[in-house]
Amino acid sequence: MKKFSKAVIPAAMALTMTLSTTALAGPQSNPNGPYIEGEQNISLSSYMSNEELTKTLQKLETSSKGKMKLEVVGYSNHTLDGYKTEADKGDPLYVVKFGDADPNKKRILITTQIHGNEQIGTEAAIDIIQKLSSGGQEIDEILDKVSIWIMPRINPEGSDNTFEGKWYPTRYTHQTWLPENIALPASTVAPWYYNADGSERGQANEGRVVYGIPGYDQNRDYNPNLDFRVEKEDKNKVSAFLNSKATNNSNYGGFYVTAEARTVTKVFQEFKPDVFVDVHHRGFNTLSDEDNRSVPVQVAAVVADPYTDPFSGKQYEVDEEVLKLGKQVNALANLALQRGNSHYGAVQKYPDVNLPGTALGAFALNDAAIMLIEIKGQSQTLGQKQAGMLKETVKVPLFEVFKGLADGSIHDVDTAIYDAIPESTNRIEDPSTRD
Ligand SMILES: [Zn+2]
């Protein structure tokens, strides 16, 4: 296995490093703070394993009486665009369909758990699927006008990762960089978002657990050129691109080396959604110096600047109308969370980033209005604490968006509401060295 021999920034830290302008609220100083301490046990028992997810989805399809279609659209296979044996197929990637890719309907695509250690999005997706498949007047009115496709847990291997015999979900996929397999010279350096040693932050072991299975940050493997495939490009050009630190970095789109990113992109291209929502988890913040409510979610309608594909020269830009709809979707989500007087409403905007290799970035540059939902905490830092409440912070806004798309009222939402969402600030530092 290849070791880190270069100055590679672990992908998990790359985003953190863009937050240098963000004020810090100081590290957690008591054991009841948001971060789980070394001696506290992390319980994940309420979350679904891959097997349980499959069973649940199959059951829901049966009980939906035809409303919902469950399809396997690909596998987390280790070999690119094809597998030689059944075992090589890996885990299934599902799409749950309510309605067709009908151009006369509004279309929304939702993905969860692109990072395997971010479970609550998937748990929320299951609740949403259950509600949609159970029907009723409100649901019928939505599905009459809106097609909803949901891909729960698009990183099944990271999700079901184990370490020392225990379930240990990780951010990364499972796959080894083998440049020869895609006709690149053997000396070609891996994409910068490759996690060569198979490591993840942990609550023990000085903040780092080496589970030993290499993989990728799938959410850097997308490319605004949705048809980019290493196999179709000039191999010397790709190799030179990867071998230079000036180009092998987060300013550029990814390389579509994961089966997972390829599969999700295939679904995106078939469905052509008006709106694309990707559900993540992140760290901890309080709302402001004056308001110390813990921030349950951050949202964003923009994650990528205009982009020029270095291979084809083609230019990509977020369309003005698309950006407007994205802001309206995020604004409506924010309004939905403001109702009542709880810390649901302590919403912040995700920090300003330019990440053309993320699913959201690449799809926004291909005419989808986007919403990033970032729930607080991850498997290793929050366990399943507050999971019930945090699930609601995904479900409540999404149902408002479904309704707004169905009756068209989303187009009346003032984008200034989005602009006024408080910026990310008062980040609470991780008490261990893992941050
Ligand atoms: Zn994430």
Asked if 264 and 151 touch (Cβ cutoff 8 Å), the reply is yes
Question: What average pLDDT does this structure show over 263-273?
Answer: 97
Find out whether 371 and 329 touch, Cβ atoms under 8 Å.
Answer: yes
Does residue 196 lie within any of the structural domains?
no
Res 208: pLDDT: 80
Q: How far away, in angstroms, is 136 Cα from ligand 1 center?
A: 33
pLDDT band at residue 24 under the 50/70/90 scheme: very low
How far, in Å, from the CA of 184 to the mean position of ligand 1?
29
Q: In this structure, how many other beta carbons lie within 10 angstroms of the beta carbon of residue 375?
A: 25
Distance CA 345, CA 338 (A): 4
Could you tell me if residue 332 is inside a domain? yes
Ligand 1 centre from 179 Cα, in Å? 26
Q: Quote the pLDDT of residue 285.
A: 83
Query: What is the separation of C-alpha 337 from the centre of its chain, rounded to a whole number of angstroms?
Result: 21
Left, alpha or beta for 207 (phi > 0: left; psi -120 to 50: alpha)? left
Asked whether residue 138 is assigned to any structural domain, the reply reads: yes
169 CA to centre of ligand 1 in angstroms: 12
Percentage of residues of the chain with pLDDT beyond 70: 83
Task: Taking residues 348-359, report their average pLDDT.
Answer: 94
Q: Decide: 183 and 231 in contact? Cβ < 8 Å.
A: yes
CA 277–ligand 1 middle distance (angstroms): 12
Structure-model confidence comparison of residues 26 and 238, the more confident one: 238
Mean pLDDT across the chain: 86
Percentage of residues of the chain with pLDDT beyond 90: 66
Q: What is this structure's pTM?
A: 0.89
On whether the CB atoms of residues 113 and 121 are closer than 8 A, the answer is yes
Tell me, yes or no, whether 219 lies in a domain: no
What's the confidence (pLDDT) of residue 84? 58
CA of 172 to the centre of ligand 1 (A): 10
pLDDT at 258 over 70: yes
Q: Is residue 96 part of a domain?
A: yes
Q: Is residue 205 part of a domain?
A: no
Beta strands at 69-75 and 106-112: parallel, antiparallel or unpaired = unpaired
Beta strand segments in 250-291, E: 275-282, 284-285
Per-residue pLDDT, 1: 28
Total domains present in the chain: 1
Q: How many angstroms does the Cα of residue 207 sit away from the middle of ligand 1?
A: 19
- The answer on pLDDT for 13 being more than 80 is no
Residue 195 lies in a domain: no
Please report which confidence band the pLDDT of residue 20 belongs to, taking 50, 70 and 90 as the band edges: very low
Q: How far apart are the CA of 218 and the centre of ligand 1, in A?
A: 10
284 located within any domain: yes
- The whole-number average pLDDT for the span 93-101 is 98
Cα 278 to averaged position of ligand 1 atoms, centre (Å) = 9
Can you give the pLDDT at residue 16? 36
According to the model, what pLDDT value does residue 425 have? 81
CB 244 within 8 A of CB 78: no
Range of the domain at 301: 15-159+267-429
CA of 112 to the centre of ligand 1 (A): 9
Distance from residue 115's CA to the centre of ligand 1 (Å)? 5
Residue 364 and residue 353 in contact, taking contact as beta carbons nearer than 8 Å: no
- Kindly report which listed range (47-51, 317-321, 354-358, 367-371) carries the lowest average pLDDT score: 47-51
Candidate from 203-212, 226-235, 329-338 with smallest mean pLDDT = 203-212
Tell me how far the alpha carbon of residue 131 lies from the centroid of ligand 1, in angstroms: 25
Ligand 1: distance of its center to the CA of 234 in Å?
32
Q: Which amino acid is at 261?
A: A
Rounded to the nearest angstrom, the distance between the alpha carbon of 299 and the centre of ligand 1 is 12
Where is average pLDDT lowest: 22-26, 33-37, 181-185?
22-26
CA of 269 to the centre of ligand 1 (A): 22
> What is the CA(379)–ligand 1 centre distance, in A?
11
What's the rounded mean pLDDT across residues 103-118?
Answer: 97
- Between CA 144 and CA 63 the distance in angstroms is 19
Query: Measured in angstroms, how far is the CA atom of residue 12 from the centroid of ligand 1?
Result: 9
Over residues 146-157, mean pLDDT: 98
Q: What is the mean pLDDT of residues 311-315?
A: 96
Q: How far is the CA of 281 from the centre of ligand 1 (A)?
A: 5
Domain CATH for 70: 3.40.630.10
Lowest mean pLDDT among 32-46, 110-124, 198-212, 270-284: 32-46
Ligand 1 centroid to Cα of residue 104, in Å, is 32
pLDDT at residue 215, rounded to an integer: 95
